[in-house]
Structure 1
Amino acid sequence: MKKIGFIPLRKGSKGIPGKNKRKMVGRPLFTWVLGEAIFSDLDEIIIYTDDEAIINFISKEYQWTTKVKAQLRSDESASDTATTEMAMLEYCDSIAYDFDAFCLLQATSPFTTRADINACLSKLNEGYDSALTVVNTHRFLWNENGTPVNYNPLQRPRRQDFEGVLIENGAVYTTTKVALKKNKNRLGEKTAIVKMPEASLLEIDSENDWISVEQLLIERQKRAKIASKITHVVLDVDGVFTDGTITYTKDGEHTKSFDMRDGMGLEILRQFDVKVLVMTSENSELVAKRMQKLNIEQVYLGVKDKYSLLQHIIKEQKLAITNFAYIGDDVNDLTNICSVGWSLAPNNATAIVKQHADIVLSKPSGAGAIREACAFIMNYNKRF
């Protein structure tokens, strides 16, 4: 059964300009659901957008997977009056409905996980022709005329005794090809429900919404941390290996400064069978040569979505994120900082990274921070 995911994106956003591309915990908002879709049971994920910057981002960022494709949608299907169904059907017509199961994913639902996607897909094998995600809310609902919707005010139940109501959170919808062609709608005639946590009901329509969702995501990632032996350490480059400054000539990048003691610390760390990886958003020939000198084989340059790439490495090499340490200094490291077993930040890292890192080192970047981190890792691993 061919299962495709569909993430519609528009350039326009009334409440929060550029919302889809804005960094949520250091990652473009839409990459939260995209990353989970990649590691779900979906066979292919389509980013359907009128934003050519996103199309270019997809083509450069996800070369490590064959699942993701970006396609330009028509101006008509991306207008303010267009419905999501219009975009869905436009795309389905363009591929002559070449799929068995269709999965609509909402880019502004960052709480969506691969488990939620898989649960909705699995319902299509249980006699349902569609499925959607919902939240069980225990709020008491009222009509505008002052009448209650879902409870008797004269017999007000305790929260623990109240079943509540199920509300669509708009995160995931799956449907069969037959149902989609017949109904021209994301839902069929026999629909299953999949429950998601109550936090996933939050919509991102204002700056206050953004702040609330971002903080909840950070806390979700941090709650999943487990203290385990460190077998792998991932390092950013600028602001970790270096002091974050670069000199330029008219021909471009000229020099970066590296601390030799940091290199020795990593060499000693590898002698204790800790693997070293480098992951940086810059695509620098100087960095490539320095890492070659340090005999670091796993070097990933030009990476914008560091969390998804780390998830890919973990899956491919059959590792666990709890066995990783991560050293970063800026917002694009933040999701990994909040997710790995141990996270460390140089003393001169940005305030938000230092706020969420497990360890703030006493040394600044480019001046012994990595060497100090290596000493911590070796001492920490002694307990295992």
Structure 2
Amino acid sequence: MKKIGFIPLRKNSKGITNKNKRKMVGRPLFTWVLGEAIFSELDAVYVYTDDEGIIDFINKEYHWTAKVKGVLRSAESATDTATTEFAMLEFCESINYDFDVFCLLQATSPFTTRNDINSCLDQLNPDYDSALTVVNTHRFLWNADGTPINYDPLNRPRRQDFKGLLVENGAVYTAKKSVLKKHKNRLGERTAVVKMPEDSLLEIDSETDWVAVESLLIERQKKTKQAAKITHVVLDVDGVFTDGTITYTKDGEHTKNFDMRDGMGLEILRQFNIQVMIMTSENSQLVAQRMEKLKIDHVFLGVKDKYTLLNSLVLKHGMSMSNVAYVGDDVNDLTNMCSVGWSLAPNNATDIVKQHADVVLSKPSGGGAIREACQFIMNYNKRF
């Protein structure tokens, strides 16, 4: 049974400029749901967009998986008046309905997890032809004419005794192929519901919404942290290995300054069987040469979605996020730092990173911060 995911994106956004590409906790908004879709039970995930920049991003960023495909949608399907169903059907016809199960995922629902996706897929059985995600809200609802909808005001129930209502949160919709062909709709005649946390009901339509959702995502990531032995250390480069400055000549990048003590610290870590990995958004030959000198084999250059790549490495190496220590300095490291077992930041990191780091080191980047981090990790691991 072939199960495909479908993420529709439009270039223009009315409420928040460039919303889909804007960084949410240091990651483009659409990558939150895309990353989870990659690690779900979907066989393929299509990002359907009129933004060629996003297609280029997908081709460069997710080269390590054949599961993700960027597809250019028609201008007609990307207008303000075009419905999501119009885009869905246009896409389905373009691939001759080559699937058994269709999963619509909304990029503006960053709370969606792989478990939510899988739960909706699992509901498609002989009893149900479609499924969607909902939130159980305990709000008391009223009509415009002043009449109550879902409770008796004269016998106001306690929250714990109130069943509430199930409300669509617009995150995940799954349907069998027959549903799309027959009804031209995301839902069929027998629909199952999958509950998601109440936070997922928040919509991102304003700057205030953006701040609220971002704060909730940060706290969600932090709640997954657990104490475990550190087996892998992941480090950013600029602003961690270096002081963040680069010297340029007319021929391009010329020099970066590295602290020799940092290299010694990493060598000592490897003597204790701790794997060292490098993950940087820059694609620098100077960095590649320095890491080769340090005999670091796992070097990932030009990475923009660091969290999804880290997830893939966790699965590949059979470890847990709790076994990872991460050293970063700027907002593009933030999701990883909120998710791993231990996060460490140089004392000259950006304020938002220091605010959420588990440890703010006493040394600056390029001035012994990594050496200090290595010592912390070795001391921490002694308890295990």
Query: TM-score surpassing 0.5?
Result: yes
User: Counterparts of 1:317 and 1:179 in 2: how far apart (Å)?
Assistant: 40
Which 10-residue stretch deviates more, 29-38 or 123-132? 123-132
Q: 1:296-311, aligned counterparts within 5 Å?
A: 296-311=296-311
Q: Is the counterpart of residue 17 in structure 1 residue 20 in structure 2?
A: no
**Which residue does the alignment assign to 2:318?**
318
Q: Which digits, 9 at most, give the CA deviation of each residue in 1:57-113, with x for residues without a partner?
A: 000000011000000000110000000000000000001100000000000000000
1:198 matched to which residue of 2? 198
Shift of 1:316: 1.4
* Structure 2 match to 1:240: 240
- 1:174: which partner in 2? 174
- The runs of 5 or more residues in structure 2 that have no matched partner are none
AA matched with 1:81: T
The answer to whether structure 1 residue 63 and structure 2 residue 101 are counterparts is no
Q: Identify the residue that residue 183 of structure 1 maps to in structure 2.
A: 183
Aligned-partner SS, 1:65: coil
Secondary structure class of the residue paired with 2:344:
strand
1:284 aligns to what? Answer: 284
Residue number in structure 2 paired with 1:102 = 102
1:127 Cα deviation after fit: 2.3
TM (norm. structure 2) is 1.00
Q: Deviations over 1:152-193 (max 9, x none)?
A: 000000000000000000000000001110000000000000
Alpha-carbon distance, 1:126 to partner: 4.7
Take 2:125 and 2:260, find their aligned partners in 1: how far apart are those partners?
Answer: 58
Structure 1, residues 22-78: CA drift from partner, whole Å, max 9, x if none? Answer: 000000000000000000000000000000110000000000110000000001100
Deviation string 1:357-382 (CA, Å, 9 cap, x unpaired) is 00000000000000000000000000
Secondary structure of 1:267's counterpart equals: helix
**CA RMSD, 1 decimal:** 0.5
Structure 1 CA distance, aligned partners of 2:177 and 2:127? Answer: 14
Structure 1 runs (4+) deviating above 4 angstroms are none
Q: Quote how far apart the aligned CAs of 1:125 are.
A: 2.5
Cα distance in 2, alignment partners of residues 313 and 269 from structure 1: 19
**1:259 match:** 259
Residue 92 (structure 1) aligns with = 92
**Percent identity between the two aligned chains:** 78
Q: Any idea what SS the aligned residue of 2:263 has? A: helix
SS in 1 for 2:220: helix
1:49-60 equivalence runs, <5 A: 49-60=49-60
Q: 1:126 to 1:200 in 2, by over 3 A?
A: farther
CA offset digits 1:272-317 (Å, max 9, x no partner)? 1111000000000000000000000000000000000000011112
| In 2, Cα distance between equivalents of 1:269 and 1:126 | 54
Instruction: Name the residue aligned to 1:136.
Output: 136
Moved more, 121-130 or 99-108: 121-130
Distance 2:87 2:252 in 1: 42
**Partners of 1:155 and 1:170 in 2: CA distance:** 32
Ranges in structure 1 where 5+ consecutive residues have no aligned partner: none
SS of residue paired to 2:288:
helix
For 1:12 and 1:226, locate their aligned partners in 2 and report how far apart those are by CA, in whole Å: 40
- The total of aligned residue pairs comes to 384
Give, as a single letter, the amino acid of the residue that structure 2 aligns with 1:301.
L
Secondary structure at the aligned position of 1:375 is classed as helix
The SS at the match of 2:234 is: strand
